Amino acid sequence: MMKTIVAALICLLTLASSIADEPSPDVEKGRRERLELMKGVVDEVSLETSDEPPKRLTRSENPVLRYTNPVTSAFSEGALFLWLDGKRPIAAVSPSLRDNGTIWWELTSLSDAPLRLTRDGAVVWQPKSCSRKAELLKDVPTPVESVAARLTQFRMLARKFQVREVRRGGWQEGRLLTQPLYRWSDDKAGVIDGALFGYAETTDPELLLMIEARRDSVTREAGWYFTLAKMTSSPMTVSLNEQEIWSVEGYWKNPRAPTDPYVEAAIGKFDPAAR
């Protein structure tokens, strides 16, 4: 009898826990409305290459990541969208809603080539390249044939990088989000497989790491390449196998230009009471 009662109590507690974990209709409605607000922000802009004639890039319809950062703010919610050339990521935009009712965005390039972003017909961002251009990863296993096995390789390679940034007066480690934010292949560009990883505070990406298995157009040999794109205004260092390979100073305490690979700006207001 006692076992039956205990089993019943466990079932009730499990059910209560699952119900408590389910967001209320009002919460879900608020999330949908905030997503539409953030989509509206990125719908106002257009990104293209600087080629002649320029090529307009396609934005992902939905975000590859939605995130919050309660460590930074009592209310902070954002989304990460990508601009694509075919299937390949070229740049990212992250609109975010903050607790003072301000809409911000962060823009970062993932391209070695110049880009041009326009808003209301005016050019507002012209990055010359990404934070760190694509570079061959040396002394690593060659890409395997299996798509599933390459995911294991992607994660192994991503763990070779260490990301540190200054937050609230001290250095802290960025947390690798082990599930790729986006994955693709592009035969025309010579990309066998690609994965985009984030290093985050909570779930808020502070750095994007793009890893691609590429095939050389001449030798046809396959190798791994990486690209870095920062997503923070804080000072940051990136190491590979514990050796520092890249660093950047704080965004707001240094000269800024629309040709920078990363920009951050307040671009509008929203009603915090409506969230």
Q: What pLDDT is attached to residue 75?
A: 67
Residues 207-264: tens digit of each pLDDT: 999 999 999 878 888 999 999 999 999 999 999 999 999 999 999 989 999 999 999 9
Is residue 186 in some structural domain?
A: yes
What pLDDT sits at residue 1? 47
Asked if the model's pLDDT at residue 12 lies above 70, the reply is no
- Assign 108 a pLDDT band (cuts: 50, 70, 90): very high
Domain span at residue 87 reads 26-274
Examine the pLDDT at 16 and tell me if it is beyond 60.
no
pLDDT tens, position by position, 157-203: 999 999 999 988 889 999 999 999 999 999 988 999 999 999 999 99
More confident residue, 28 or 56: 56
> pLDDT tens-digit profile of 116-141?
999 999 999 999 999 999 999 999 99
In-domain check, residue 116: yes
Q: Return mean pLDDT, the chain.
A: 89
Q: Is 38 domain-assigned?
A: yes
Contact in structure between 232 and 207 (CB atoms under 8 Å): yes
Three-state secondary structure of the chain: CHHHHHHHHHHHHHHHHHHHHCCCHHHHHHHHHHHHHHHHHHHCEEEEECCCCCCECEECCCCCEEEECCCCCCCEEEEEEEEEECCEEEEEEEEEEECCCEEEEEEEECCCCCEEEEECCEEEECCCCCCEEEEECCCCCCCCCCHHHHHHHHHHHHCCEEEEEEECCEEEECEEEEEEEEEEEECCCCEEEEEEEEEEECCEEEEEEEEEEEECCCCCCEEEEEEEEECCCCCEEEEECCEEEEEECCCCCCCCCCCCCEEEEEEEECCHHHC
Two tokens, residue 37? 């607000």
Average pLDDT of span 3-30? 51
Phi, psi of 17 (to 5 degrees): -65, -45
Give the total number of structural domains in the chain.
1
Average confidence (pLDDT) over 26-33: 85
pLDDT greater at residue 14 or residue 244: 244
pLDDT digits (tens, 9 = 90+) for 256-272: 999 999 999 999 988 76
Measured distance CA(226)–CA(182) in Å, rounded? 15
Confidence at 57, pLDDT banded by 50, 70, 90: very high
Answer yes or no: is 62 within a domain.
yes
Residue 15 lies in a domain: no
Q: Is residue 221 a part of any domain in this protein? A: yes
Quote the CA–CA distance of 113 and 137 in Å, as a whole number.
20
81-100 residue pLDDT tens: 999 999 999 999 999 998 78
Report yes or no on 8 lying in a domain: no
Within a domain: residue 82? yes
